[in-house]
């Protein structure tokens, strides 16, 4: 089978972006965000391998207990673990949360850094988290946040076959127009929850089924 051209992938990506815009418009993060960039960093960090709904239940408790970065930086890990117990990997995440607070306080004078390079130096913060923070908190678009939904859907659409989220992101940057980088993550996350669900994709109800190579094979 001949290798698909970049032009063909770009055309398919443009159709995906158009239909996602028609369905969702300017979709936004479903995590509770009060405008504080540090709160967003922690919320996105906590959302790894966990639903946004679960994170939204614990973050208000966390901020009530530790209302400042200074307070969180001095927290006992077992106390933070108790607050985060209902979400996945809560022990590791508790350690990351406290260390993030300490680093932001000591290395950045209490201000969340606003570059990809600096954000990804924070414990537990990879390109996905950094992209979301830059997009939402700083209105800065440097890439596409690739979470489990974006990874799965774009692979089903054959826009990437890369083995890792980071490599997938770099593939997607080549096929999506820059204007679509910011909204496409939030749009595909919602689409992955509502239509292209992991265990049983609803291909018959999918407005992308006519351009999706995987849907054509399953029908």
**Could you list the active site residues?**
128, 147
DSSP state letter for 158 = T
Tokens of 137: 């908190």
Angle at 56 between CA 54 and CA 57, to 5 degrees: 70
DSSP state letter for 2 = P
Helix, strand, or coil here: 84? helix
Select from 134, 216, 215 the least CA-distant residue to 182: 134
Q: Are residues 85 and 114 in contact, defined by beta-carbon separation less than 8 angstroms?
A: no
Contacts of 88 (CB under 8 A, 6+ apart): 48, 49, 50
């Amino acid at each position: 089978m001949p290798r698909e051209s970049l032009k063909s992938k770009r055309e398919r990506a443009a159709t995906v972006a158009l239909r996602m815009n028609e369905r969702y418009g300017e979709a936004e993060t479903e995590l509770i965000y009060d405008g504080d960039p540090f709160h967003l960093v922690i919320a996105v960090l906590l959302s790894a391998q966990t639903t946004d709904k679960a994170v939204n239940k614990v973050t208000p408790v966390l901020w009530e207990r530790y209302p400042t970065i200074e307070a969180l930086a001095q927290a006992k890990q077992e106390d933070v673990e108790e607050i985060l117990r209902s979400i996945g990997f809560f022990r590791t995440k508790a350690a990351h949360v406290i260390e993030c607070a300490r680093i932001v306080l000591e290395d950045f004078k209490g201000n969340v850094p606003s570059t990809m390079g600096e954000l990804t130096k924070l414990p537990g913060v990879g390109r996905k988290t950094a992209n979301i923070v830059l997009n939402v908190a700083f209105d800065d678009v440097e890439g596409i946040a690739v979470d489990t939904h974006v990874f799965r859907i774009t692979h089903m659409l054959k826009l990437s076959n890369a083995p890792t989220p980071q490599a997938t992101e770099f593939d997607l940057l080549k096929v999506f127009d820059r204007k679509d980088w910011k909204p496409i993550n939030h749009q595909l996350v919602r689409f992955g929850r509502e239509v292209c669900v992991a265990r049983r994709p609803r291909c018959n109800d999918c407005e992308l089924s006519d351009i999706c190579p995987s849907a054509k094979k399953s029908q």
